Amino acid sequence: MGAEKLEVLFQERIDANEKIEPRDYMPEEYRQHLIRQMSQHAHSEVIGMQPEGNWITRAPSLRAKKILLAKVQDEAGHGLYIYSATETLGVTRDELISRLHQGKAKYASIFNYPALTWADMGAIGWLVDGAAITNQVSLQKTSYGPYSRSMVKICKEESFHQRQGYEIIAAMAKGTSEQKEMAQDALNRFWWPSLMMFGPHDSDSPRTGNAMKWKIKRESNDVLRQRFIDKTVSQAELIGLTIPDPDLKWNEERGSYDFGEIDWDEFWSVVKGGGPCNLKRLNHHKKAHNDGAWVRKAAAAYAKKHLNK
């Protein structure tokens, strides 16, 4: 069968909402798009361990420590699922990690913002995981089978993540005046970067066309962002915190909130490496990877010796 015919059949399967599996025909561009998106997703899970991991030793109660540690561990598990799903496309985890280290692969920019106070553990779970869930729920319907299934698995754990974050920030919002101040400050710092997690406006998002046509992406950046805002505003009100956006107001006609313009200069600057923690996050990952090299070698050497026996 000619390549053109295969591509037509492929698109027909996509249009009929069939899942594409690893052994199925897929256009090379589809494969490359998935590798880029899925590895970026996996790297984000793993790099995302750092801002919260940074607070485990300082968690203010045994209960909080256990929950946070379990949460960060979940993110490692998410990274693992998605790396494995990406490997079904014919790349290895090692290659993906080396692309990350070379700066060729990206991860979510949100993790380039520092986690400064305990309230940030609240804001991150509530807003960052909240935004991630909005995105991942939509991705459960993505056309690539292994990616879709990993999203289903992950979404089950994510609601716990958002709840634990909201619980932290809610407790602080009704605590002492210092705690309340920290809670509001965390919301102020994480609100806009969370909205940026959905990416540029649809009109400025060059790859969206193909991704929508192939049903890798099922809903647009702007639609997802709006959904996240609409469900989050009342959660802030409920605990007496103020969303740092003077233009935010309910639009009766649209049945949605109108909101202010995102600072896209900041967005692009952080994407391109200009965030306060970009270097730190990547160096931490490289250091852990390099420090672990002798352990991986030892495990491989041991396995080889004892396989031959």
Partner 1 sequence: MCSKGPFLEEDIAQTNLGLDLLGQAEALLTYAAKLEDKGRTADDLVYKRPERDFYNFMLTEQPNTDFAFAVVRQYIMALYLDKVYETLSKVDDETLSGIASKALKEIDYHKSHLGMWVTRLGDGTQESHERVQTAFNELWMFVGELYEEDELDLKMQHSGYAISGDEMKSYLFSEISSSLAKATLSIPESVYMTTGSKKGIHTEYLGYLLTEMQYLQRAYPDANW
Q: Answer yes or no: are the C-beta atoms of 277 and 111 closer than 8 Å.
A: yes
Considering CB distances under 5 to 8 angstroms, the limit depending on partner class, which of Fe ion, partner 1, none binds residue 171?
partner 1
Q: Which of residues 74-103 bind Fe ion (CB under 5 A)?
A: 75, 78
Shortest separation between residue 75's beta carbon and Fe ion, angstroms:
5
**Type of residue found at 228:** F
Q: Which of residues 13-72 bind Fe ion (CB under 5 A)?
A: 45
The answer to the question of residue 172 lying near partner 1 (CB under 8 A) is yes
**Type of residue found at 107:** Y
**260-277: b (≥16 Cβ within 10 Å) or e:** eebeeeebeebbeeebeb
Q: Which of residues 133-162 bind partner 1 (CB under 8 A)?
A: none
The answer to the question of residue 58 lying near partner 1 (CB under 8 A) is yes
Site map for partner 1, 228-267, x if CB under 8 A? ----------------------------------------
The answer to the question of residue 61 lying near partner 1 (CB under 8 A) is yes
Shortest separation between residue 78's beta carbon and Fe ion, angstroms:
4
3-state class of 134 per DSSP? helix
Smaller CB distance to Fe ion: residue 26 or 197?
Answer: 197
Q: Which of residues 101-130 bind partner 1 (CB under 8 A)?
A: 118
Q: Which of residues 117-136 bind Fe ion (CB under 5 A)?
A: 129
Smaller CB distance to partner 1: residue 231 or 286?
Answer: 286
The answer to the question of residue 279 lying near partner 1 (CB under 8 A) is no
Q: Answer yes or no: are the C-beta atoms of 220 and 135 closer than 8 Å.
A: no
Q: How many residues of this chain bind partner 1 (CB under 8 A)? A: 46
Q: What angle separates helix 129-139 from helix 145-173, to the nearest 10 degrees?
A: 160
Q: What angle separates helix 177-196 from helix 264-271, to the nearest 10 degrees?
A: 80
Question: Which two structure tokens, joined as six digits, stand for 108?
Answer: 């979510």
Cα 109 from chain centre: 9
The answer to the question of residue 308 lying near partner 1 (CB under 8 A) is no
CA-wise closest residue to 48 among 232, 281, 292: 281
**Sign of torsion, CA 267 269 271 273?**
negative
Shortest separation between residue 193's beta carbon and Fe ion, angstroms:
16
**Sign of torsion, CA 295 298 300 302?**
negative
Interface residues toward partner 1, by CB under 8 A: 46, 49-50, 53, 56-66, 69-70, 72-73, 76-77, 79-80, 83, 118, 168, 171-172, 175-176, 178-179, 284, 288, 291-299, 301-302, 305
Interface residues toward Fe ion, by CB under 5 A: 45, 75, 78, 129, 161
